[in-house]
Chains A and B, each alone.
Chain A
Amino acid sequence: MRYVLQRIVFSVASLFVLVVITFTLGHIMPGDPAIAAAGPNAGAERIAEVRARMGLDQPLIVQFAIYCGNVLRGDFGVSWFTHQPIVNDLARELPPSLELVIIAMTINLAIALPLGLVTARYHGSRFDDLVRLFAIAGAGLPIFWTAILLQQTVAAQWDLLPLSGRISFENRRFEAASGFFLFESLLRGEFRIFRDVLAHLLLPAFALSLLFTAVGVRITRTAMIGEFRKDYVVLARAKGASEARIMFRHVFPNGATPSLTVFGMQFGWMLGATVLVEEIFGRPGVGRYAVKAVTQNDIHSVVAVVFVIGVVFLLANLLVDILLYLLNPAKKRGL
């Protein structure tokens, strides 16, 4: 229990650092933001007025405190190009990206964990060599390039999956209060829509996951190989345990621990990489939103995205830590 508290404290501290970073980002713009906000023809008086209104004449510490307060209330300001409160924009754009990452992460785990386990068991075999080759190759594939290629072949030429978008034209009126099309359609029993949304997710999620899966396979494999060499595996064999039992009941629970940590971090990295596939597949999401904001020089929107993604990252890591704590008894005593 003490361990969990420790992790939570660490997360809060990290959150604070995150706030500092985003605050810094928001204030390193060259030039005077008051001038930009006041408009091209503003006189000195008007500029001073704007500066006071924006709180820019206060000492940095005070500005920071105001910023913290705002963030805690969920006030990130107003976006310059949507003219909406940024927090509303985020509420709209975050769920589609999260859905994408969740599916991509599922693909990742579904491939990396078994492959890592099996190649560790049969390491040195041809199968192992082949998988390792693919894993190394996969780690070099640019996500956006893979996405384009997949889109061209699987969607355009072979017509197996939808080309772009989040949902088919015929289902375009589907509304989800939470913003999560996938889960809401499932919960409401609308399976046709669920299948549709899933079909639109598969290609981008796969493209997104490829690089991370390649890395995941190697990390899992190394961890599992380490476990297979340990004496308790030899003892388990001496007890008469079958290879299957050894793989699933002994090696996997112990070997998964270090790899789970990495997978937790990958969740956050994937979220950051969604921008690469959202553009290509014409999907809404925080990535596209952030890019749009950049082209409009809307620093606050981008900073808000940085913050939100950072929060998601911290949450994912915290969850993984808690999961590990539950799985691995040694951690229970703070070892």
Chain B
Amino acid sequence: MRAILSLPKTWIERIALVIALLILFLAVFGPWIAPYDPTQIDLRNRLAPPSATHWLGTDSAGRDVLSRLLAGAQVTILSTVTVIAAALAIGLAVGITSAFVGGTLDNLLMRFSDIWLSFPPLILALGFAAALGASLEAAIVALIVSWWPNYARLSRMITADILTRKFIASADALGVPTHRKVTHYVLPNAFDVMIIQVTLDIAAVMLAISGLSFIGVGAQIPAPEWGVMIAEGRSHVSSAWWTVTFPGLMIFVTALGFNVVGDMLRREFDPTLQRRG
């Protein structure tokens, strides 16, 4: 943890790290520190501009925007983490296995992943939504299905590279079993690169989820998800700009924060990016 805190080199990076940690914090504790109940409707107070009582105003059903934003952090981040964790698990399993097995199967799997990667996740998600009904769960499944080839390719590349290194030969000579090779040789070496990819993906997945929710095939009304909030506020945007601006700002700032943190990690850990001496 200390190591991470010491990484930022510019003020932008410091702010980004703070934002990222803050969002993670909100993901866990968001609903508890919200000043109002995010689901409480108060139709007499709808579309109220930001004020002392409602710092970010109220939406079309009179709900406090700030509270919904805080609650939304939980929905958004949990969905994102679910997608990435599942995609990572599947991707690692497929990629590492593929690298170990090698040969035609390896080739086929990677070609397959390449093709799979080409499809825009949004459209694929629409497909799943049509098949399974529009819901946050369907969107999550769709995104997992879209995303795992990313990790499969990456882990396969890393594993294949590690397998060519000399210390694997000595491990073979010592009779180290395969599963131990994976846990003790592959995973630790892959960790750095994976962490970078995961951090950068957080922003991308988050944008995808909020995008899907916006068009109605992700989280559904009246969930406090940021994309849904923008969809709900859209019809009132000319008179009540706060219903659209603040949720969007949240998405933007969060994505930006994780992107900068991901870049920061990449600068530290990615050896291919080192400047020539």
Is A in direct contact with B (CB under 8 Å) within the complex? yes
A: residues with CB less than 8 A from B are 10, 13-14, 17-18, 21-22, 25-26, 28-30, 133, 136-137, 139-145, 148-149, 152, 156, 211, 229, 265, 268-269, 271-273, 275-276, 279-280, 290-291, 293-295, 297-299, 301-303, 305-306, 309-310, 313-314, 317
Residues 96 to 131 of chain B near chain A (Cβ within 8 Å): 111-112, 115-116, 118-124, 126-131
Q: Is the CB of B260 within 8 A of A149?
A: no
Q: Is the CB of A142 within 8 A of B256?
A: no
Additional 8 contacts, C-beta under 8 A, given A280-B234, A306-B119, A310-B119: A21-B119, A137-B256, A140-B203, A142-B251, A145-B230, A156-B238, A211-B207, A290-B123
Mostly, the B contact residues are helix
Nearest CB of A to B220, in Å: 12
Select one of A291, A294, A302, A309 contacting B120, CB under 8 A. A309
| Residues of A with C-beta under 8 A to B133 | 297
B: residues with CB less than 8 A from A are 12, 111-112, 115-116, 118-124, 126-134, 203, 207, 210-211, 214-217, 227, 230, 234, 237-238, 241, 244-245, 247-248, 251-256, 259-260, 263, 276
Q: Is the CB of A302 within 8 A of B122?
A: no
Max count, chain B CB within 10 A of own CB: residue among A14, A30, A302: A302
Q: Is the CB of A306 within 8 A of B126?
A: yes
Q: Is the CB of A279 within 8 A of B215?
A: yes
| Residues of B with C-beta under 8 A to A140 | 203, 207, 251-256, 259
Nearest CB of B to A199, in Å: 21
A-B contact count (CB 8 A): 151
| Residues of B with C-beta under 8 A to A17 | 112, 115-116
Cα A317 to Cα B120 with chains together (Å): 14
Select one of B207, B217, B237, B276 contacting A294, CB under 8 A. B217
Q: Is the CB of A148 within 8 A of B115?
A: no
Closest to A133 in B: B12
Q: Is the CB of A305 within 8 A of B123?
A: yes
| Residues of A with C-beta under 8 A to B210 | 142
Select one of A26, A141, A298 contacting B252, CB under 8 A. A141
Nearest CB of A to B207, in Å: 5
| Residues of A with C-beta under 8 A to B211 | 142-144, 273, 276
Q: Is the CB of B118 within 8 A of A14?
A: yes
| Residues of A with C-beta under 8 A to B234 | 148, 280
| Residues of A with C-beta under 8 A to B263 | 136
| Residues of B with C-beta under 8 A to A293 | 126, 130
Q: Is the CB of A276 within 8 A of B214?
A: yes
Select one of A148, A229, A295, A314 contacting B134, CB under 8 A. A295
With A148-B230, A229-B276, A276-B214 as contacts: A317 and B118 at CB distance below 8 Å: yes
Q: Is the CB of A144 within 8 A of B126?
A: no
| Residues of A with C-beta under 8 A to B12 | 133
Select one of A18, A156, A298 contacting B115, CB under 8 A. A18
Q: Is the CB of B121 within 8 A of A272?
A: yes
Select one of B116, B124, B130, B203 contacting A139, CB under 8 A. B203
| Residues of A with C-beta under 8 A to B123 | 272, 275, 290, 305-306, 309
Closest to A27 in B: B131
Select one of B121, B124, B131, B230 contacting A144, CB under 8 A. B230
